């Protein structure tokens, strides 16, 4: 393997993927959410940099081209598993369907690429597929932040009765623990994250169909 900087960044991103799960195994929340969010954002940024540097420095390699989508898929799949597994009960149904669509598409396309072998390399990644990946990563990052807001709100209200919480949120009592903006952050990051995830799932279906359509002539030949 050619250990140039773009390939090193790709390998680091691949290694970081299981690190997301490790954060929730060894740290309590909201620290696990913070570490996972930082790790995920760092990986998402390097996803752009490794491709840009590889093209700018003419360091594109076959191993890099192979590992890059694997790292992307690993990050997204593991992050979605964490979000579904740790989501509140009323959130879970809204997360499961788009997560299922995304996971199914990634497994299906990976199997299709393996079946096509060398031919798969001729099926170029479209701009829409890149937007799909961007939408997935932004949605996941926003949903990780929702978990952070949620746990700070829970800690701020710990030991309070429902009447006191209501008085603080309605402005009858001074909001010393910043509960109102924590609740707002939890609400809006959750809603925006879910909408982005559904948009990402829609783009995932479209790009999956597009990939299958382009692969059909090669499947017929085989």
pLDDT band for position 221 (50/70/90)?
low
Q: What is the pLDDT of residues 136-169, one digit of tens each?
A: 989 999 998 988 888 887 777 777 777 777 777 7
Q: How far apart are CA 165 and CA 21, in angstroms?
A: 33
Q: Is CATH 1.25.40 what the domain over 5-217 is classified as, yes or no? A: no
Q: What is the pLDDT of residues 176-218, one digit of tens each?
A: 767 787 888 888 888 999 999 999 999 999 988 888 887 777 6
The pLDDT value given to residue 177: 67
Angle in degrees, CA 67, 73, 75, rounded to 5: 100
Q: What is the pLDDT of residues 46-74, one digit of tens each?
A: 877 777 776 777 777 777 777 888 888 88
DSSP string, the chain: ----HHHHHHHHHHHHHHHHHHHHHHS-TTHHHHHHHHHHHHHHHHHHHHHHHHHHTT---HHHHHHHHHHHHHHHHHHHHHHHHHS-TTTHHHHHHHHHHHHHHHHHHHHHHHHHGGGGGGSPPPHHHHHHHHHHHHHHHHHHHHHHHHHHHHHHHTT--HHHHHHHHTTSS--TT-HHHHHHHHHHHHHHHHHHHHHHHHHHHHHHHHHHHHHHHHHHH-
Phi, then psi, of 171 in degrees rounded to 5:
85, 5
pLDDT band for position 123 (50/70/90)?
low
Name the average pLDDT for the chain. 81
Position 120 pLDDT exceeds 60 = no
Averaged pLDDT, 129-138: 87
Q: How far apart are CA 154 and CA 170, in angstroms?
A: 17
Q: Where are the domains of the chain?
A: 5-217
Position 1 pLDDT exceeds 70 = no
């Amino acid at each position: 393997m050619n250990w140039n900087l773009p390939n090193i960044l790709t390998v680091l991103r691949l290694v970081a993927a299981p690190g997301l799960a490790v954060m929730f195994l060894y740290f309590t929340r909201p620290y696990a959410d913070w570490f996972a969010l930082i790790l995920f954002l760092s990986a998402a940024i390097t996803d752009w940099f490794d491709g840009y540097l590889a093209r700018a420095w003419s360091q594109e390699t076959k191993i890099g081209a192979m590992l890059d989508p694997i790292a992307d898929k690993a990050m997204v799949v593991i992050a979605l598993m964490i979000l579904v597994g740790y989501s509140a009960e009323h959130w879970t149904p809204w997360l499961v369907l788009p997560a299922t669509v995304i996971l199914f598409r990634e497994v299906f396309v990976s199997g299709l690429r393996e079946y096509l072998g060398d031919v798969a390399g001729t099926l170029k990644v479209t701009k829409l597929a890149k937007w799909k990946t961007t939408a997935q990563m932004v949605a996941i990052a926003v949903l990780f932040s929702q978990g952070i807001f949620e746990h700070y709100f829970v800690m701020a209200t710990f030991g309070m009765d429902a009447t006191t919480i209501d008085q603080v949120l309605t402005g009858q009592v001074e909001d010393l623990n910043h509960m109102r903006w924590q609740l707002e952050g939890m609400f809006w990051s959750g809603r925006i994250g879910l909408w982005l995830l559904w948009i990402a799932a829609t783009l995932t279906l479209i790009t999956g169909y597009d990939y299958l359509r382009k692969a059909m002539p090669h499947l017929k030949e085989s």
